[in-house]
Amino acid sequence: MMKHPFKLRSTYFLSFFVLLCSMSFAMSNGYELWLNYSKISDGAILTSYQNRLQSVLVEEGGQTMEAIKKELEMGLGGLLGTEVRFKSFQASENQLIVSKIGSLPKAFREEINVDNLSDEGYIIKHIEKSGKAYLIITGREDIGLLYGTFHFLRALKMHRPLNTLNVEESPKVDIRMLNHWDNLDRTVERGYSGFSIWNWQTLPDYIDQRYIDYARANASIGINGTALTNVNANALILTPQYLEKVKALADLFRPYGLKVYLTARFSAPMEIGGLETADPFDPQVIQWWKDKAAEIYKSIPDFGGFLVKANSEGQPGPQNYGRTHLDGAKVLADALAQYQGTVIWRAFVYSEHDADDRAKQAYSEFVPDDGKYPDNVLIQVKNGPIDFQPREPFHPMFGAMPNTPLMMEFQITKEYLGFATHLVYLPKLFEEVLQSDTYQKGEGSTVAKVVDGSLNTKKLTGMAGVSNIGTDANWTGHPFGQADWYGFGRLAWDPSMNSEAIADEWLRTTFSNNEDFINPVKKMMLKSREAVVDYMNPLGLHHIFDTGHHYGPGPWVGNLSRPEWNPVYYHKADQEGIGFDRTKTGSNALSQYAPELAEKFGNPETCPEEYLLWFHHLPWDYQLKNGRTLWDGLGIKYQQGVDQVKQMINTWENMEPYVDQYRHNQVSMLLGIQLKEAKWWRDACMLYFQTFSQMDFPKEMESPENTLEHYKSLKFPYAPGIRPQWD
């Protein structure tokens, strides 16, 4: 039954999406994401497309070519409102042709050069011959044609003139993957949009339509990998019982170019293998991993590899045996090498035994082994040195390991940015990090160039995003959370992309092409990230969230067993001032950055104010660049964040004529929650910090709505997304 799942379900697949595309404007719940193929309402544009796309030729082939044909049936059928006519080459009609370069008619091949195209790349080209217009989507391999098809359909949805389409694209990053922090019981660590979409209980026999739609959505933005399970791993996923279920998903995903990866618990040889040790130097352990790799590849020949979290936050790892991360990675890399599999080893490590500065530990453990890792190992580094904060400077490892491929890890789910209730456009954050200059080879050595391998000519590159996907009807909880998934995929394909251009694409393909809608909502999205920084962690404050669930403010928390778990560890507020001194007089974390940055950030007068309290402990009456005191500046920033949410609410209210009622009401209610919680952040933090500053609130700041004691008393034992307990 599972040999040809795509073909078996093609009829249901098509009819289901015809139903979705025919949904009335008022009933859209967002399930279709940016792939809503409702009929184009602009009559002139519709007529021009119908005239240009009189028939379609899709090269015969395997499952990926079948997926292309199905997507065009849905896409063109829905957008143009007509049945798609698939024909062989027609010299008498304007035609869309989707074919690999070698199968194109010679007259077309002579006009197209694929020399610079990767296997995943594609070309879309307008060609006129004998009075007829042809639109060609071509490439070297089937997967490139699929990516090109999605690009073409996106162009239609954005009302682009077809005679101007002249596109040549290849991805700049090799592995573009989602990391699902999904547990086998369907809970999702830091998940805020329902349960895990993987129903392990009914797999492999029951195939949920959502699995196929998940693959389509990822392929449409160029994502080519998915790690199905939590980095806080459960070894059971590597047992035959679960590998059979993983195989079912891999078979479904294959036509869409989506490879499956699994999180490997380092102690698996003991927990499911019956060994007495997981020491990477033990011959039995080495053989166990080789046997496990052979078992996986026998049933999943295109298995991507292992994602590993080791010796971090209680997870087992090679350091349990006196070994290094390098030692552990080598064992897994050797097991996967003959299958061209990849080991992705996370650099998120910190220990209660390092009392200096949590921000420094990953650098200390990984940089000394730069250049020693096997060729099939990627070190996955979070975008900042702490933990997915609303704003962090880029991780210093990106400027310090020129001989090792570093994989970017972004968090798409909003663990520290208001969960799925706050509208925060994350591609703005991603862009800020990617365009940061490491100065590794002088000015212009951006993080993006490190990640895509162009700075140091890396053969293996990658970018990962921690998923925000769940069983909610619209996948991501907040309708605008879809933009974060979409934007991650676009930036993983090309890290140099502009977040404003991505917002424009997403709005047009998800909602409307009406400029009266696009312009104000795009402006709102682009400002939303700065708003959340202002009302949560302004001027370089960080990690002042409440305990465990990270829901809401908790700057007063200081009673946890490990110092680096406590917010007081990070803001260090006292009678003298506030902030974490990371200069030479403090932890000297600045020494991990290039000299140009250490000098710039090390002086409060030249340090950008958005990082001021990240690198400096400063007096409450320190004078900011605008002439106001640090204390006043904090209060003003908190208020600005609140005011920005009020503006977002006003903007969205005015968009009611352009958005279906369901999603308009949904976003309106969520913005109401966001405003309430922004005020909560402002009031709780400023009241707490006032106990040290002993200064009046600035005149620009509204008076707090409750007392500090009230905010301290709030408890949320059932906040969503809490990390499960493990041994």
| pLDDT tier, 355 (very low <50, low <70, confident <90, very high otherwise) | low
CATH number at residue 82: 3.30.379.10
Report yes or no on 20 lying in a domain.
no
387 is catalytic: yes
357 is catalytic: no
Rounded Cα gap, residues 358 and 368, in angstroms: 17
- Specify the DSSP class assigned to residue 281: T
Residue span of the structural domain in which 92 resides: 39-169
Report yes or no on 321 lying in a domain.
yes
Question: Of how many residues is the chain composed?
Answer: 727
Is the pLDDT at 28 greater than 80? The verdict is yes
CATH number at residue 444: 3.20.20.80
Give the residue among 234, 144, 179, 241 at the shortest CA–CA distance from 465.
179
Rounded Cα gap, residues 265 and 283, in angstroms: 18
Q: Indicate the residue among 150, 169, 188 that finishes a domain.
A: 169
* Domain count of the fold of the chain: 3
3-state class of 439 per DSSP? Answer: coil
**Per-residue confidence (pLDDT) for residue 356, from 0 to 100:** 84
Catalytic residue, candidates 357, 415, 431, 530: 415
- Note whether 215 and 352 are same-domain residues: yes
Q: How far is CA 435 from CA 96, 170, 443, 479, in A?
A: 37, 20, 12, 27
**Per-residue confidence (pLDDT) for residue 377, from 0 to 100:** 98
Average pLDDT over residues 44-73: 97
- Note whether 385 and 464 are same-domain residues: yes
Determine which of 21-25, 142-146, 388-392, 543-547 has the lowest per-residue pLDDT on average.
21-25
Report yes or no on 344 lying in a domain.
yes
169 is catalytic: no
Report yes or no on 110 lying in a domain.
yes
| pLDDT tier, 23 (very low <50, low <70, confident <90, very high otherwise) | very low
- Note whether 430 and 540 are same-domain residues: no
Is the pLDDT at 727 greater than 80? The verdict is no
Report yes or no on 17 lying in a domain.
no
Is the pLDDT at 340 greater than 90? The verdict is yes
**Per-residue confidence (pLDDT) for residue 354, from 0 to 100:** 66
Rounded Cα gap, residues 714 and 509, in angstroms: 41
Q: Indicate the residue among 169, 194, 227 that finishes a domain.
A: 169
- Note whether 492 and 552 are same-domain residues: no
**Helix ranges, 300-376 (H):** 325-337, 361-366
Average pLDDT over residues 558-573: 94
Q: Indicate the residue among 169, 186, 214 that finishes a domain.
A: 169
- Note whether 207 and 336 are same-domain residues: yes
Give the residue among 575, 601, 606, 566 at the shortest CA–CA distance from 587.
601
More confident residue, 727 or 511: 511
Determine which of 9-23, 434-448, 452-466, 521-535 has the lowest per-residue pLDDT on average.
9-23
221-239: pLDDT as tens digits: 999 999 999 999 999 999 9
| pLDDT tier, 24 (very low <50, low <70, confident <90, very high otherwise) | very low
Rounded Cα gap, residues 398 and 402, in angstroms: 8
Is the pLDDT at 156 greater than 80? The verdict is yes
- Note whether 84 and 144 are same-domain residues: yes
Report yes or no on 563 lying in a domain.
yes
Radius of gyration of the chain (CA): 26
Catalytic residue, candidates 302, 313, 334, 370: 313
Is the pLDDT at 13 greater than 70? The verdict is no
Rounded Cα gap, residues 23 and 483, in angstroms: 22
Of all residues in the chain, the percent with pLDDT exceeding 90 is 93
CATH number at residue 703: 3.90.1330.10
Share the mean pLDDT of the chain: 95
Average pLDDT over residues 258-263: 98
Determine which of 1-15, 75-89, 271-285, 675-689 has the lowest per-residue pLDDT on average.
1-15
Tokens 């196929």 sit at which residue? 212
Catalytic residue, candidates 66, 387, 431, 505: 387
| pLDDT tier, 122 (very low <50, low <70, confident <90, very high otherwise) | very high
456-468: pLDDT as tens digits: 999 999 999 999 9
- Note whether 44 and 97 are same-domain residues: yes
- Note whether 154 and 187 are same-domain residues: no
- Note whether 472 and 553 are same-domain residues: no
Average pLDDT over residues 502-524: 98
Average pLDDT over residues 437-443: 98
Report yes or no on 509 lying in a domain.
no
HSE of 90 in the Cβ direction (CA atoms, 13 Å)?
A: 21
Which region, left, alpha or beta, applies to residue 106 given φ > 0 means left and ψ of -120 to 50 means alpha? Answer: alpha
- Note whether 572 and 447 are same-domain residues: no
Strand order in the sheet with 95-98: 55-58, 95-98, 132-138, 122-129, 166-169
Taking the CB of residue 717, how many other CB atoms lie within 10 A of it?
Answer: 7
Rounded Cα gap, residues 166 and 122, in angstroms: 11
- Note whether 420 and 539 are same-domain residues: no
Give the residue among 271, 252, 264 at the shortest CA–CA distance from 197.
252
Report yes or no on 447 lying in a domain.
yes
Residue-wise DSSP of 489-545: HHHHH-TT--HHHHHHHHHHHHT---HHHHHHHHHHHHHHHHHHHHHHSGGG----B
Rounded Cα gap, residues 556 and 568, in angstroms: 6
| pLDDT tier, 351 (very low <50, low <70, confident <90, very high otherwise) | confident
- Note whether 222 and 200 are same-domain residues: yes
96-112: pLDDT as tens digits: 999 999 999 898 999 99
Q: How far is CA 185 from CA 197, 227, 719, in A?
A: 11, 16, 18
HSE of 495 in the Cβ direction (CA atoms, 13 Å)?
A: 28
